Structure 1
Amino acid sequence: MISANAAVGMAVNDDCKLRFQELKSKRNYHYITFKIEDQEVVLDKLGDRFTSSLPANECRYAVHDFDFSTDEKCQKSKIIFVAWAPETSKVRNKMVYASSKDRFKRELDGIQVELQATDASEMRA
């Protein structure tokens, strides 16, 4: 059985979309994490040190403006969407995040790569 929230998706706070647009255009920070609170996706954190920004026991969504060099020494960047669901998070929490992910991701225009991770080692380039 699919719950109403799974079928429709969570509401997305306007601040999430605004901060994502800033990350894409102004590049004032390199990552944003989002969490679900009271049936809505809201802003959690933003900054420059992405690797230490995800909680060990709770699910989150994140976007990361990832800078890298090609084999030809050309500087590039890609915006990566991360669905973070650590093994130690509660099953219900994982289900809520999984069922709302696609709806939330559609609100963020410009995602180039999607990654699902349960452990920090799964996010190494």
Structure 2
Amino acid sequence: MANAASGMAVDDECKLKFLELKAKRNYRFIIFKIHNQQVVVDKLGTPAETYEDFTAALPKDECRYAVFDFDFTTAENCQKSKIFFIAWAPDSSKVRSKMVYASSKDRFKRELDGIQVELQATDPSEMSFDIIKARAI
């Protein structure tokens, strides 16, 4: 991890799956993790899965990056969608892990073109459905 701030590799599958989420809507969410100095896909959520399924899929005591495709209806009754990038760093995760995820986040986020809203969460309450909804509109 000597070069964690700048040398974190991003597995091509991350970009491929993100493009599929964005263009084809094949997934509701993607959870990424850092493994052997590179960001890899950890879990994929089917289009039928809900926000509750997504939050349940995040580990309780490990950091992750995630993208979530949030569908909503505007006040004008228009169907819209926003792609959220969530940096999940629970308080109970290891300090070193939080540092690695924090230092690699911006570089990884740049690889995913099309993110509209970013959230940082250390606790499930910081990314509740109401917060997501409020940030989308």
How many correspondences in the alignment?
122
Percent identical residues: 72
Gaps of 5+ in 2: 131-137
Amino acid at match of 2:26: N
Amino acid at match of 2:83: I
CA distance in 2, matches of 1:9, 1:35: 15
Amino acid at match of 1:110: G
Aligned counterpart, 1:100: 104
How far did residue 4 of structure 1 move?
Answer: 2.4
Of structures 1 and 2, the one with the larger relative CO (CA 8 A, separation 6+) is 1
Alignment of 1:65-76 (within 5 A): 65-76=69-80
User: Once the two structures are superposed, what CA deviation does each residue of 1:55-108 show, in whole Å capped at 9, x if it has no partner?
Assistant: 000000000001111112221110000000000000000000000000000000
- Would you say the 8 A contact 1:12–1:42 is kept in 2? yes
Alignment of 1:6-85 (within 5 A): 6=5, 8-47=6-45, 48=49, 49-85=53-89
CA distance in 2, matches of 1:120, 1:98: 18
CA distance in 1, matches of 2:54, 2:122: 15
Query: Bigger shift: 86-95 or 66-75?
Result: 66-75
Q: What stretches of structure 1 move > 3 A for 4+ residues in a row? A: none
Gaps of 5+ in 1: none
CA distance in 1, matches of 2:64, 2:4: 17
Amino acid at match of 2:4: N
Aligned counterpart, 1:5: 4
- Would you say the 8 A contact 1:9–1:104 is kept in 2? no
Amino acid at match of 1:13: D
